[in-house]
Amino acid sequence: MQPFVYNALPARVIFGSGTLSQVASEIQRLGCSKALVLSTPGQAKKGEALKAELGALAVGLYSNAKMHTPTSVTEDALKLLQKLQADCIVALGGGSTIGLAKALALRTDLPQIVIPTTYSGSEGTSIIGQTENGRKTTQKSLKVLPEVIIYDVDLTLGLPAQTTITSGINAIAHAIEALYSAEANPITDSLAEQGIARLAGALPVLAKDLKNSEARSDALFGAWACGSCLGVVGMALHHKLCHTLGGTFDLPHAETHTVMLPHTIAYNTPFAVAPMAKAAHSLGAASAAQGVFDLAKGLGAPYSLKELGMKEADLERAADVAMSSPYPNPAPLEREKLLNLLRDAYEGKRPA
């Protein structure tokens, strides 16, 4: 057995169907009584319904969570939180809402209960990404790790096909990076392989039948597994590029991960042969890079940056921003090679 270091992250996970009904008891279990509910504008009605169900345990709803966690939105939400004297945060939604909950917890250290409705996996990590003045930065802190994660499979049954697929591949990206991380270990490797396999098996089923509860359950478990892996180890090239593209050029989060993942895998595979062989096996493919590309394209997901609205003229700038701060990665970071990677992703080429 290889030597390794593994730091388990403390979190209470409740998984099942109909588990949304347990939010009130979890607020009380934390010793709290004045929850601020968070959502995006698109899920405001669900946020209102949850607030009404919580009754006196909820003091308000903030329904303006935004993608990439802009600091201006966080400051706006913080004012409401302080005005209402909330003593905990309840986030209902995907990565945007959970990102806002983390940003508020970073500033207040209030406990969080998060109820994911997509497969972003953000809830399983102590990582927060925030955008200010067109620049997205990340940091790690246990202050942003949710105290309670409530997975309710029923909440994912209405998730649209496009969001289902792209957020699922976004989750797979967490596990892929965990496999070749400098901090990889046998425990996260096992969890990463499980997560990839569950999602790779569930997404084709859900593309044909969005209401398949067994596939929804597998996908939600896979998202937790993948997110938990990334929470333990460090991020590398893939997440760095996606944060650059999302924060600087305002590209959609999950779709950007979906487009970029095959190309970042291909860039790193020569320097991470064994880890990417594990990924390929979990995907049921001969090649991890081609397996992810074929999965995304075959399910109708976007597979080029051009489709997402990226301008070809901005590729040079994206490479410069990505190179501006060093970070661990299996393959050496070389600007021209990164630019070629970005060009391939822009055109939507299948990795060689």
pLDDT in tens, 216-275: 999 999 999 999 998 888 889 999 899 889 888 989 999 999 999 999 999 999 999 999
pLDDT in tens, 112-121: 999 999 998 8
Within the chain, all domains assigned CATH 3.40.50.1970 are found at 12-156
Within the chain, all domains assigned CATH 1.20.1090.10 are found at 161-347
Would the pLDDT of 2 be above 80?
Answer: no
Q: How many CB atoms lie within 10 A of CB 90?
A: 31
Would the pLDDT of 291 be above 80?
Answer: yes
Q: To the nearest whole percent, how much of the chain has pLDDT over 70? A: 100
Tell which residue, 318, 350, 119, has the closest CA to residue 215: 119
CA separation, residue 209 to residues 157, 202, 203, 204, 293 (Å): 10, 10, 10, 9, 21
Res 332: pLDDT: 95
136 vs 26, which has greater pLDDT? 26
Res 1: pLDDT: 66
Q: Which of 18-27, 135-144, 152-161, 290-299 has the lowest mean pLDDT?
A: 135-144
Res 327: pLDDT: 81
Would the pLDDT of 149 be above 80?
Answer: yes
Strand partners, 13: 149
- What SS3 string covers 138-149? EEECHHHCCCEE
Strand, coil or helix: 338: helix
Indicate the average pLDDT of the chain.
Answer: 95
Would the pLDDT of 325 be above 80?
Answer: no
Q: What is the mean pLDDT of residues 286-309?
A: 97
Whether 35 and 27 have beta carbons less than 8 Å apart is answered as yes
CA separation, residue 163 to residues 13, 64, 123, 195, 351 (Å): 23, 19, 17, 18, 24
Would the pLDDT of 340 be above 90?
Answer: yes
Enumerate residues 6+ apart whose C-beta is below 8 A from 318.
241, 244, 245, 248, 249, 342
Q: Which of 20-29, 81-90, 133-142, 207-216 has the lowest mean pLDDT?
A: 133-142
133 vs 333, which has greater pLDDT? 333
Whether 152 and 19 have beta carbons less than 8 Å apart is answered as yes
Strand, coil or helix: 350: coil
CATH class of 12-156: alpha beta
Q: Helical H runs in 237-334?
A: 237-249, 253-268, 273-283, 288-298, 315-323
AA letter at 259: V
Tell which residue, 63, 42, 65, has the closest CA to residue 131: 65
Q: What is the mean pLDDT of residues 102-116?
A: 97
Query: How distant is the alpha carbon of residue 281 from its chain centre?
Result: 22
Strand, coil or helix: 87: coil
Residue 144 is classified by DSSP as: G
Res 140: pLDDT: 84
Res 135: pLDDT: 83
Would the pLDDT of 215 be above 90?
Answer: yes
∠ CA 184-124-93, rounded to 5°: 145
Q: Which of 61-70, 233-242, 251-260, 282-291 has the lowest mean pLDDT?
A: 233-242
pTM of the model: 0.91
Res 49: pLDDT: 97
Would the pLDDT of 99 be above 70?
Answer: yes
**Directed axis angle between helix 71-84 and helix 95-108, to 10°?**
60
Would the pLDDT of 148 be above 80?
Answer: yes
Q: Which of 62-71, 167-176, 241-250, 262-271 has the lowest mean pLDDT?
A: 241-250
CATH 1.20.1090.10 for domain 161-347, yes or no, is yes
